[in-house]
Structure 1
Amino acid sequence: MFIGPVGQLEGVYHQSTKRNAPLALVLHPHPLHGGSLKNRVTFTMARTFQDMGFSVLRYNSRGVGRSEGRYDGGIGEISDAAYALDWLQEINPHSSEIWIAGYSFGAFVGMQLLMRRPEVKGWISVAPPADDYDFGFLAPCPCGGLMIAGGRDQLAPEPSIRRLVEKLNTQRNVTVDYRVFDAADHIFSRQVRAISDAITDHVNTKQADFLPLEHD
């Protein structure tokens, strides 16, 4: 439990054994539709970062599980995410880098947080609800990331996500790694391993780009 903007928030935290390990904050889907830190995709994303040596926090937003407060239409949930990231940074003050990963509604909240925290180095958005929320706030998007869509997703249709990716890719110094799992619906029931593999591949590629160039 840690302090949020309207009371205590419940989380699950993994501390890496690596010194100054990178950090990952993982956000769950919509709280009014069963979204919580126990969600399978949310758990998979957190475990994937954990296996890569990250210190990882996934948490329940206000009103979910043992977290205090009530659902606030997305506004309060963005504040929850900011407090969660603050907590993660407070106990890891010398971390090498920070990533944000969100699924569905959590992808929307995560991208909002991205715009408020310039120290974030990378992001993962799985099934961002581009039909339900306006992602126009990503202008300019501070960095590239990984976006995943399901070809059979009716709640976050792939064409809408593709249009969002195309807009982001027109921005200077932003490249979105876009991956579509053709057989997946919004639940990704048979694609969690593919999601994990995609995250691992993307993060490893980005981290290689972070390394300073060697000079003779």
Structure 2
Amino acid sequence: MPEIIMNGPEGRLEGRYQQASSPNAPIALMLHPHPQHGGTMNNKVVYTLYQCFQQRGFSVLRFNFRGVGRSQGKFDRGEGELSDAAAALDWLQTWNPNAPQCWIAGFSFGAWIGMQLLMRRPEISGFISVAPPANIYDFSFLAPCPSSGLVIQGDQDSVVPQESVQKLVTKLTHQRGIKIDYQIVPGASHFFTEHLDDLTRITNTYLDDALPEAAAKARAGK
């Protein structure tokens, strides 16, 4: 899992990157939770998502937002972090110019950033949002949401209430041509402590359905 340093808007960005064996592999970018509340690219939820994509033959990148770990800069209330995510996606696409699909996955604050990036980059073909903080941040920019995706929420989340996520999902599912798979994990807190296996199972099932060819190759060990 090689460490990489990318050029970001405010200096270097620290990341971990796994190149797929196929030269035409799809790509996926992982976004971590709030930098001011201990969020890093090594968060267990982020790492779980990273592994799910990697096992399905993706070239996968996770990175630290500005001011986290070895990434330069200071927290910028989401605006700068969105620029960081765009720079990371640029880097990922530069290394994978023939990628047939591009996915984004984010947890909490990272889910909010990921959904904003989704609106700005039409090449993103799918998303996974874990505990999107719809009670804290405005998601009204998703009008319309440009892609179908998966939303995962714990029913014991004390940071992001299930009701606020349900309202967001209901809004998105009313948009024409968009399908949102909404999965609730019984007993799971915001950080999915002791429920990472459930997170893995739900993510794998969704990706198997969305990417049947990649799933078949992963099962065959190719």
Number of matched pairs: 210
Matched residue, 1:15: 19
Alignment of 1:71-150 (within 5 A): 71-150=75-154
Whichever residue aligns with residue 60 of structure 2, its letter is V
Whole-angstrom CA distance in 1 between matches of 2:177 and 2:36: 36
Residues 96-148 of structure 1 deviation map (CA, whole Å, 9 limit, x = unaligned): 10000000000000000000000011000000001000100000000110000
Residues 146-166 of structure 1 deviation map (CA, whole Å, 9 limit, x = unaligned): 000110101111111011000
User: Comparing 193-202 with 155-164, which one deviates more in the overlay?
Assistant: 193-202
Whole-angstrom CA distance in 1 between matches of 2:110 and 2:146: 18
Whole-angstrom CA distance in 1 between matches of 2:57 and 2:205: 14
Whichever residue aligns with residue 117 of structure 2, its letter is L
Structure 1: tracts of 5 or more residues without a match: 210-216
1:51 to 52, 55, 59: 55
User: Comparing 14-23 with 76-85, which one deviates more in the overlay?
Assistant: 14-23
Matched residue, 2:176: 172
Whole-angstrom CA distance in 2 between matches of 1:85 and 1:197: 26
1:183 to 180, 183, 187: 187
Q: Using the TM superposition, give the Cα deviation of residue 19 of structure 1 relative to its aligned residue in structure 2, in angstroms.
A: 2.5
The reply on whether 1:205 has 2:221 as its aligned counterpart is no
1:173 and 1:208, CA in 2 relative to 1: closer, same or farther beyond 3 A? farther
TM-score, normalized by length of structure 1? Answer: 0.95
Whole-angstrom CA distance in 2 between matches of 1:14 and 1:207: 19
Whole-angstrom CA distance in 2 between matches of 1:95 and 1:146: 21
CA RMSD of aligned residues (A): 1.2
For the residue of structure 2 that corresponds to 1:3, the secondary structure is strand
The reply on whether 1:29 has 2:41 as its aligned counterpart is no
Q: Using the TM superposition, give the Cα deviation of residue 208 of structure 1 relative to its aligned residue in structure 2, in angstroms.
A: 4.4
Whole-angstrom CA distance in 1 between matches of 2:212 and 2:175: 22
Whole-angstrom CA distance in 2 between matches of 1:115 and 1:169: 16
Whole-angstrom CA distance in 2 between matches of 1:152 and 1:94: 41
Structure 2: tracts of 5 or more residues without a match: 214-222
Q: Using the TM superposition, give the Cα deviation of residue 207 of structure 1 relative to its aligned residue in structure 2, in angstroms.
A: 2.5
Q: Using the TM superposition, give the Cα deviation of residue 197 of structure 1 relative to its aligned residue in structure 2, in angstroms.
A: 1.4
1:153 to 154, 157, 164: 157
Whole-angstrom CA distance in 2 between matches of 1:91 and 1:19: 10
Residues 53-80 of structure 1 deviation map (CA, whole Å, 9 limit, x = unaligned): 1100000000000000000000000000
Residues 24-47 of structure 1 deviation map (CA, whole Å, 9 limit, x = unaligned): 100000000000011100111101
TM-score, normalized by length of structure 2? Answer: 0.93
Whichever residue aligns with residue 144 of structure 2, its letter is P
Q: Using the TM superposition, give the Cα deviation of residue 94 of structure 1 relative to its aligned residue in structure 2, in angstroms.
A: 0.3
Whole-angstrom CA distance in 1 between matches of 2:150 and 2:115: 12
